[in-house]
Amino acid sequence: MKFLRVLLPALAALALSSQAIAAEKFKIGYLRVMDDAQVMAAYEGGFYKKHGLDVELVEFKSGTDLIKAIVGGQLDTGVLGFTNAASWSSRGADLKVVGGAQHGYHAIVVRDDANIKTVEDLKGRTLASQKEGSTADTVLRGVVLKDAGLAPTDLNIMGVSPQVAVQSLVGSRVDAAFLFEPQASIAKLVAPVTEIYEIGEVWPFPCMVVITSGETLRNNKEGVWASMDAQREAIELLTNNPEEGAKLIAGYFIAEPKLKTLKHGEVPREDVIRDAIASQTFSPILTPQELDRMQEIADIMQSQGALKTRDGSPFDVNSIVDLSWQKARQL
């Protein structure tokens, strides 16, 4: 009897511990942009549950805040710009890029009354972009403006959220904006603007990637891989059936059932998001060509002073990439 009095509480504690582990949520960080559509679609479509995960989505306003949460252990994974992982890793953070998400499609849209026809015409103007140091901002400064013969100081670059950028176009507070989808499509519907440039057509790059910490990958590889399996299914849905994908995620981007536009009256939000999805290229894997492009971006960051290694040597992207999931899945 004495043995049972000792054993039963121990078994009860073990059962409670197992229940706590089973009930623990897998936390995924995301940004409310089309680049993270697979995260939202996997959640709304039940793909995470299908793969055995109880997922909690945590929204962030910037990749910088999201990567801090991964480094701090508040998140298991996140979908965000590669530059965040490179920057923090160069300072000693244990981070891993474990998969792809979305290719870089970012448009420059300009107000029709600004008389801007080319990127070169942005000189002396005000342009809304993402925060300095973000992947989009790095590419804007290091590729888009450079190819046009412009220095970042040749124009006024405002680092704001895509939503604020659209509002700034509507309110004539900026002349142009460098936008993700679906904000680029929304801007063209609600503001008197025209698209003059799309970097995905000129310089395609893996904009968003799946990032986790080395510790999480070591301790919960099964969970990380299951989340990526779910997001892969979501990407297949978005790619093959944008209309169904739009039904799942339209509410993340447009609150009202219909969007009031300048020229087309009220447009169902699902139609706007369907077209935005169809304009994108999603991919769960990273190809050798994309890894080369990521290295180019890291080199740009170093030239801009945004990425510094301890000994001043070039940053090696391969040092933070772990493609074991896609190799195991033979993708």
Q: What is the rounded distance in angstroms from the CA atom of residue 87 to the CA atom of residue 80?
A: 13
For the chain, the structural domain boundaries read 24-103+206-328, 107-202
Residue 96 predicted with pLDDT over 90: yes
Q: Could you name the CATH architecture of 24-103+206-328? A: 3-Layer(aba) Sandwich (3.40)
CB within 8 A of 219, min separation 6: which ones?
none
Q: pLDDT tens, 162-190?
A: 999 999 999 999 999 999 999 999 999 99
**Residues 6+ positions from 301 with CB-CB distance below 8 Å:** 83, 86, 87, 138, 142, 307, 315
Residue 142: the pLDDT is: 94
Query: What pLDDT, on the 0 to 100 scale, is given for residue 23?
Result: 52
Mean pLDDT within 138-146: 95
Cα dist from 106 to 160, 200, 279, 283, 322, whole Å = 15, 7, 11, 16, 26
Topology given in CATH for the domain delimited by 107-202: D-Maltodextrin-Binding Protein; domain 2 (3.40.190)
DSSP 150: -
Q: Degrees (nearest 5) of the Cα angle 223, 228, 234?
A: 130
Q: Roughly what angle, to the nearest 10 degrees, separates helices 183-190 and 162-170?
A: 10
DSSP 82-116: HHHHHHHHHTT--EEEEEEEEE---EEEEEGGG--
At residue 242 the predicted structure's pLDDT band, cuts being 50, 70 and 90, is very high
Q: How confident is the model over 269-308, as pLDDT tens digits? A: 999 999 999 999 999 999 999 999 999 999 999 998 889 8
Predicted local confidence at residue 32, as pLDDT: 92
In this predicted structure, the answer to whether residue 135 has a pLDDT above a threshold of 70 is: yes
Is 24-103+206-328's fold the same as 107-202's?
A: yes
> What's the pLDDT tens digit per position in 41-91?
999 999 999 999 999 999 998 888 999 999 999 999 999 999 999 999 998
Q: In 3-state terms, what secondary structure has residue 315?
A: coil
Band (pLDDT 50/70/90 cuts) for residue 104 is confident
pTM of the model: 0.89
Q: Which helix (H) or strand (E) holds 56?
A: strand 55-60
